[in-house]
């Protein structure tokens, strides 16, 4: 998801590494803080793959900055990753939010709808954090107030997301 974030933010505008790191941290930092030891190797991989380029530009002070710009291949790669998202990209909430932050860059509403339908299908499957053998437990079946709370909050979040997904899909499919 780090590479998706890099591609997504650079799709919007060229950035230097520090600014890119701040934006990624604002998006995912509460869950997965981004350190320089993680960010810069990912940037180098993307650069080596021809998905972004570095350019030295004057900084606001005396020191020049290395500004990162997405190449046309990088733009295509971002759109490919968005369109092909499935599995953990649509089932893991943190990955999903990262994907969702950049889904607007997938220009085709039908392609956006396909991705949203994958998330919708996942959310419509009965699930729980707690089970009795193979049967998912509901909040009302738990005596533990903390586990009850987890399931109550998860249900409310899921219901809100389902409503948003259905409304958004209706808009995309009727556009």
Sign, CA dihedral 52-42-2-122, equals positive
Res 31: pLDDT: 61
Helix (H, G, I), strand (E, B) or coil at 126: coil
For the entire predicted model, the pTM comes to 0.87
Tokens 């607007």 label which residue? 104
Residues of the chain where predicted confidence (pLDDT) is lower than 50: none
Name the token pair of 35.
């350190």
CB 86 within 8 A of CB 72: no
> What distance in Å separates the CA atoms of residue 54 and residue 20, rounded to the nearest whole number?
13
Res 116: pLDDT: 97
3-state DSSP of 83-104: HCCCCHHHHCHHHHHHHHHHHH
Res 156: pLDDT: 94
Res 168: pLDDT: 97
């Amino acid at each position: 998801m780090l590479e998706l974030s890099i591609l997504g933010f650079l799709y919007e505008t060229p950035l230097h590494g520090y600014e890119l790191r701040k934006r990624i941290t604002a998006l995912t930092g509460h869950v997965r803080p981004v350190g320089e030891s993680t960010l810069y190797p990912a940037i180098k991989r993307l650069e080596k793959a021809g998905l972004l380029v570095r350019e030295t530009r004057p900084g606001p002070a005396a020191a020049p900055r290395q500004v990162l710009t997405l190449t046309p291949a990088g733009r295509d790669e971002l759109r490919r990753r968005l369109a092909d998202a499935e599995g953990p990209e649509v089932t893991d909430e943190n990955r999903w939010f990262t994907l969702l932050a950049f889904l607007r860059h997938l220009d085709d509403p039908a392609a956006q709808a396909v991705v949203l339908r994958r998330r919708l299908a996942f959310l419509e499957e009965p699930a729980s954090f707690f089970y009795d053998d193979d049967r998912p437990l509901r909040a009302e079946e738990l005596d533990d107030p903390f586990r009850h709370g987890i399931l109550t909050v998860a249900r409310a979040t899921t219901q809100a997301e389902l409503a948003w997904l259905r409304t958004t899909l209706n808009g995309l499919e009727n556009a």
